[in-house]
Structure 1
Amino acid sequence: MTRSHSQMVALAAPKVLVLAALSLSATSCTLAAGNIQSRTTQGATGSAAPSGASAAQRLFGQVNTLLLQKYGGLSTVDRAQLARDYQAKLDAACLPTGADCARETAYPVIEAEIDALKDDHSFFERPDEYQSFEAEATGGSRLQFGVRLAQLDGESRVVTAVIPGSAAADADLRRGDVLKTIGAAPYTYDALKKAREAGTPVTLGVQRGTGTLDVTVTSRDSSTRDLPHMTRVGSVDVIVIPTFLAGGGVADRVHELVAQANREKASGIVVDLRGNGGGNLFECDESASAFVTNFARLSRSEGGDTRTVVSMGTRLEDGRSSDSVAVPAFWTGPLSVVVDKNSASCSEFFAFEIQYSGRGPIVGETTAGVGNTATQVFPLGDVALQLTVINYVKPDGTPYPTQVKPDVPGQDDIQALTQGQDVLLTAAIQALKNAPTAVSPGANQQPGQPGTVPANNRSK
């Protein structure tokens, strides 16, 4: 069965993660991508509020119905007591207006309640956040420059990625560029954000290596779709996966790139997941299956356990095909994976499957820490609730870790990047020298335990 992305929506990860990696490709700095298990296109299926209640109370009731009936995460907080506690807070907030209490009055109360659940993968999305998320989840368009930035000297000013087809790409902004001025003034991220919102041309003073240049760019509505791409460093192919949230096509593209690396006889592959906040779990699993012979897990929810097995781009749910890539490919050569503190959720699943199978070293920083659950987005009119609905273990009962700890620790050096030196990528390429090769697909392996061949036993 091939994928049907109209039935799926990728999910948003914890708001706190995004502040460390600001993105001008979003309409706000409050959303990043996370895992997906399934999608609902309807609102909450019930409400704790009577039909004559205020709009604020009705929304609060919908949220708490979902919280009580659908939550499948690892929080041990008493959710019924949580609802009672925050009902009192909503009553106090709505006291001045009574039955006319607006929906917006419930927003901060609901946000505080979901924070009190102590589940980093669950949160409430206000209208602007949900709108931005929907655009990114479907690969739709929004007003953007299309550039991702890292901090240097207290400002988000170093270009780390440019979305193809965006205004930034047309202006020839490049990874490693440093934004020094905006207009006639010293650069600030706030000034760039205002220029984006205004949609007017802005001239940026850019430092590129040891030189400087002026770049004029105007934000415009353009696609948020940011599919994997590959570059070659020497004889090594580097596959960058910016997100697993791109309106579909991520896994198919990864398999295409792996096939290309095979044809071009690359000596190794580095998969770069830095800044990848997650996305669609099907895309993540099927991408990982281009490198791991097969793997398995159990998903645990209120409705019971489901066994997932993934191999050669196909996912089986309790023995039945649920999704697959169009043309699968497989890489048997040396592999390493680069992660950082902003690699979250679905990218943590990818990295863990590589690490658990012994397929290759993970290089970089300890990941964000939300890689053991899947979430579902429940639209509630123009707002939405993201809620953890499933947690995962390996078939032997081993829980998925919240964080992936690298085999080769290291940190990005943004200052070095401005001079064209990618420290972690260099370390990942170096790590390929001791990386194992994989057993080819079709070998008799136990699910979740693909074989590898130690580096010193490889045929020359």
Structure 2
Amino acid sequence: MHLRALILAALLALGTGLTHPAGDLLQEALKLLETHYFGYAQPDFKALGERYGRELEQLCASNPECGFEAGRSVVARLVRGIGDGHTYFLSPERYRQSLDRFAGRVDPTPIYGISMVGFFDGRVLIGDIRPQSAADVAGVRPFDRVVAVGGESLRSLEDFRNRINTDQPVRLSLLRGAQGAEQHLELTLRRQPYTLPVLPTLYAPSGAPQGVFVLRIPDFAVYKQVGPRVHALVREAQGKGARAIVIDLRGNSGGEETECESAPGAFVGNFALEMRTKTATVPFGYADGAVLGNDPKDPNPPYRLEQPARFSGKVAALINGSTASCGEIMAYVLQHFGKVPLIGQRTVGVMNTATEFWPLSDGSAIAITYVRTFKTTGEPLPEFVTPDVEMPYEPEVIARTGRDPMLEKALEVLGIR
């Protein structure tokens, strides 16, 4: 064995003995993971340290000043090697973006306030609409299909983005509703500065019976804003005579535990679960308008809603293969405690754990699974949510026909005609 290899082996503690910035970063990451990881994978951190220490040693062989950039690439592979979808590496830029997202900080650059699902058959399918954004004020709705900009048809999603990349007003030609009975709309909008975070929206879907509303929840990221807004929108729906609400959790990537505790309370009332770390157990649930707990590392305290809602009409929810984390918790609570039928696809499969960010010295971070979620009986929650009615999410069908089969199935299950 070469002398350098002997020294490396002698210095291994958590698997590395590398004495440069990249090696320091790897050792720092290993220590955090070994200290805090509480997921269901069973990683051998010493073996992982040895493996990725050797990899970094080879990467840095010709550069004794091996810097953070090389370390990040190896740390990222190390974290992936654990095999836990809730534990992942964040580059400095992605970590800053994640902190901004969870804090509700918004880039003040003017926007339209729309997301695009994709481009299908010459049409851009609109996804989420930010409340009070330029698109919202102009009257754009989720699942509208853009067929032209300024009277000219579209060639691709990139073509659409390029055509609306202007501070001048743009005229969108839209289709809304089912093929054969769709509305043809011409809406003009101009992007504007926007300061609200991503929040839930409520709308009456085109062609649905009177009194049917969709509550769209894109994520649960922002503390004390998503849950209270869900309750406010439920009260709004009740004021408009709602007899059924379909909760759309498709693509919901999760967020703050407090928000996926308070939001389902508007539909199921009180419920109780619990969260456990290596050293603590805390309540997780909702009781008469109060959020019962939060994960122990989160500095945001539980809170009480000022005006809790309780919907007494019919409720269903839509989920798909991208519904994750807090989105899965919401779906589970609806199904398990409220007997709310779930329509769609099996979820991602990280429901029974929660994650937190641990920063590294170079400005990057690791999201580490450090909480497990349990029933009050001590039984762990399942990994994923299984729908009551399984069917695919096919946005291309919505773009082509103007019909949302999952929404239609939800209304059928609820007996809404």
Which TM class, normalised by the smaller chain length?
0.7 to 0.9
Give the residue type in structure 1 aligned to 2:194.
S
Q: Is the 8 A contact 1:64 1:83 kept in 2?
A: yes
Once the 2 structures are TM-superposed, how far is the Cα of residue 128 of structure 1 from its aligned partner? 2.5
Distance 1:136 1:392, change over 3 A: same
Q: Is the 8 A contact 1:147 1:163 kept in 2?
A: yes
Alignment partner, residue 164 of structure 1: 131
Alignment partner, residue 118 of structure 1: 83
SS at match of 2:34: helix
Counterpart among 311, 317, 332 of residue 331 in structure 1 = 311
Once the 2 structures are TM-superposed, how far is the Cα of residue 246 of structure 1 from its aligned partner? 3.3
CA distance in 2, matches of 1:293, 1:220: 38
- Mean alpha-carbon deviation: is it higher for 304-313 or for 82-91? 304-313
Distance 1:194 1:151, change over 3 A: closer
Counterpart among 146, 159, 170 of residue 113 in structure 2 = 146
Once the 2 structures are TM-superposed, how far is the Cα of residue 201 of structure 1 from its aligned partner? 6.5
CA distance in 1, matches of 2:61, 2:188: 51
- Determine which structure has greater relative contact order: mean sequence separation of CA pairs < 8 Å that are 6+ residues apart, divided by chain length: 1
Matches within 5 A, 1:27-42: none
Deviations 1:141-194, CA, capped at 9 Å, x for gaps? 235553222234499942122223445546765433445678989543455667
Structure with max Cα Rg: 2
SS at match of 1:391: strand
* 1:71 paired to 2:37: yes
In the superposition, the TM-score normalised over structure 1's length comes to 0.73
Q: Matched residue pairs, number?
A: 384
Once the 2 structures are TM-superposed, how far is the Cα of residue 69 of structure 1 from its aligned partner? 0.3
SS at match of 1:396: coil
Counterpart among 392, 417, 420 of residue 373 in structure 2 = 392
Q: Is the 8 A contact 2:86 2:350 kept in 1?
A: yes
Alignment partner, residue 278 of structure 2: 302
Counterpart among 376, 382, 385 of residue 356 in structure 2 = 376
In the superposition, the TM-score normalised over structure 2's length comes to 0.79
Alignment partner, residue 101 of structure 1: 66
Give the residue type in structure 2 aligned to 1:64.
L
SS at match of 2:266: coil
Unaligned runs of 5+ in 1: 1-46, 435-460
CA distance in 1, matches of 2:351, 2:345: 14
Deviations 1:88-137, CA, capped at 9 Å, x for gaps? 11122222221x22211112111111111000011111123223222322
CA distance in 2, matches of 1:165, 1:311: 31
Matches within 5 A, 1:221-370: 222-223=194-195, 225-232=197-204, 233-246=209-222, 248-317=224-293, 322-370=302-350
Unaligned runs of 5+ in 2: 1-13, 177-181, 295-300
Distance 1:49 1:244, change over 3 A: same
Once the 2 structures are TM-superposed, how far is the Cα of residue 366 of structure 1 from its aligned partner? 1.6
Give the residue type in structure 1 aligned to 2:66.
C
* 1:54 paired to 2:36: no
* 1:430 paired to 2:396: no
CA distance in 1, matches of 2:104, 2:32: 27
State percent identity of aligned pairs.
Answer: 27
**RMSD after superposition:** 3.5
- Mean alpha-carbon deviation: is it higher for 354-363 or for 174-183? 174-183
Counterpart among 94, 97, 104 of residue 132 in structure 1 = 97
Q: Is the 8 A contact 1:179 1:207 kept in 2?
A: yes
Matches within 5 A, 1:5-20: none
Q: Is the 8 A contact 1:367 1:404 kept in 2?
A: yes
Distance 1:374 1:216, change over 3 A: same
Q: Is the 8 A contact 1:252 1:325 kept in 2?
A: yes
Q: Is the 8 A contact 1:182 1:191 kept in 2?
A: no
CA distance in 1, matches of 2:190, 2:69: 33
CA distance in 2, matches of 1:408, 1:220: 41
Once the 2 structures are TM-superposed, how far is the Cα of residue 411 of structure 1 from its aligned partner? 2.9
Runs (4+) of structure 1 exceeding 6 A deviation are 47-50, 181-185, 193-196, 198-205, 210-220
